[in-house]
Amino acid sequence: MILTVENIFLVGSLLLLASIVASNASYKFGVPTLLLFLTIGMLAGSDGIVGIDFDNPKAAQFIGIVSLNFILFSGGLDTNWKEVKPIFRQGAVLATAGVFLTAVSLGTFVYLITDFTIFESMLLGSIVSSTDAAAVFSILRSKSLALKSKLRPTLELESGSNDPMAYVLTIAFLSLVVNQDQNVWSIVILFFQQMIIGALLGFGFGWLSKKIINNINLDFEGLYPVLVIALMFITFGATDFVGGNGFLAIYICALYLGNQNLMHKKTILKMYDGLAWLMQIVLFLTLGLLVYPSHVFPLMGIGLLISLFLIIVARPVGVFLSLVFFKMKLRRRLYISWIGLRGAVPIVFATYPLLAGIEKASMIFNIVFFISVTSVLIQGTTLPIVAKWLSVALPAKAKPVTDIDKLMSNMPKTAMKEIRIMPDCKAVDKKIVELDFPENAIIAMVKRDDKFITPNGSTLIKANDIWVVLSDSQQGIDRVNVCLEEKPANTKKKK
């Protein structure tokens, strides 16, 4: 079947529907959604039952980059800085030095067992050096598996921030493969340029985006998520245009925004959660369509050998060496090593050699695809078992509530207080969104003169307003008093 303008919507929607239905089975049986989506894509592809002819690496790469923008941005929005801050150094080292060490050790192994040149070997190692956060946490959620201490935030930070490092390494070694006379020091300069500019512009665009979101007056609430999408692509495109790492920039921008008070933040988070899932499905289906199983099967032997080395040797080497200066129990280091799932990102990066037209591009792509599939099969299906075996898992009832869970849930409010905004209060003439308002408290109603107002983030605070504040605890009311510079008063309990 050849995709046309007339049938692409029907075929695409049917594949999307099949993927959503199949995702239920993944939660029930613990099969990673990545594997199901890829399988559906392959069944629909040229070697599959449907026989869709899709052999367009450039289109697949474009879809991959767009999808990764949404996935990384959503991951940044969902990351709680208060949880990540204590383990920031560990996560940052894993996402940089850990990725580099994994790429180098695997590349060395590939060079020793194949006829690849050293640069081609390092290119392959770089492509599969990052982990896949979506695949990891879909498995953890499907088994209601919670992890002890700071392990989950560490994995969350590493998985969400290590793709930029793998991207830089991929581009660097691809340049050396194409131009073998190129000075290696130029690659070092490229690395620092990409990471430094990406980080700086990520913070810069995050700060600017907050100002725009909170100060622009849009008539419709639904336009705010659209505004954030525009700001996300501006961040990526502008950073890439000036020579920085766009993936790093959008992750840092989202991390900054996710921990700020924003207009209609709940609406933005809900939309990005759904879009991230949509983009994951679209990305995996597209990559499944791009793969020819008949080209992968002849490489199963060498692919399995490389995959096992990555799982058993290269990933642990990267983890243990990068964490050597940090205090951490052995079993936690082992679990971080085991949870290094490879997913869709390496397959997207594997399209770069295809478009560059290097000699072994097709072989590299098929090996990378096989590594991703075997990683999901071997590691993905055993994550809960290994967590319990290493004693790093908590009982399901002890599963911690994440920041986004708190924001999305309708928690019962047990404390209530009426607060009058005094003329000398620092909040006067400010928008509610500009206050450091506690997340476990809400302003149920505002009485202004003889009128009652249902407030939102853009509501301007006036002197002598009377607020009806609800919270789930006295501490929440006290925090409201602090942000208004009021003294704590007695609280009325709802019965």
pLDDT over 70 (residue 139): no
Most confident by average pLDDT, 183-187, 264-268, 417-421, 478-482? 264-268
Q: Which two tokens stand for residue 306?
A: 């490389």
What's the pLDDT band for 157 if we cut at 50, 70, 90? confident
What's the pLDDT band for 410 if we cut at 50, 70, 90? very low
What's the Cα-to-Cα distance from 232 to each of 34, 76, 247, 400, rounded to whole Å?
25, 11, 10, 30
Confidence (pTM): 0.78
Express each pLDDT in 344-403 by its tens digit: 788 889 999 999 888 889 999 999 989 988 888 888 778 778 888 888 876 654 445 444
Instruction: Describe the crossing of helices 118-127 and 163-178 by its angle, rounded to 10 degrees.
Output: 160
7 neighbors 14 (Cβ within 8 angstroms): no
| Domains of the chain by start residue, with CATH | 8-403 (1.20.1530.20), 410-493 (3.30.70.1450)
Express each pLDDT in 431-462 by its tens digit: 777 776 776 677 777 878 777 777 777 777 88
* pLDDT over 70 percentage in the chain: 84
Write down the pLDDT at residue 495: 39
Write down the pLDDT at residue 447: 79
The pLDDT of 258-281, averaged and rounded, is 85
Write down the pLDDT at residue 217: 82
The alpha carbon torsion through 120, 135, 407, 457 (nearest 10 deg) reads 40
Express each pLDDT in 283-336 by its tens digit: 888 888 888 888 888 888 999 999 999 999 999 999 999 999 888 888 889 988
More confident residue, 306 or 184: 306
What's the pLDDT band for 201 if we cut at 50, 70, 90? very high
pLDDT over 80 (residue 160): no
Q: How many CB atoms lie within 10 A of CB 491?
A: 17
- Count of positions (residues) in the chain: 495
Mean pLDDT of the chain: 81
68 neighbors 163 (Cβ within 8 angstroms): yes
Write down the pLDDT at residue 1: 58
pLDDT over 50 (residue 408): no
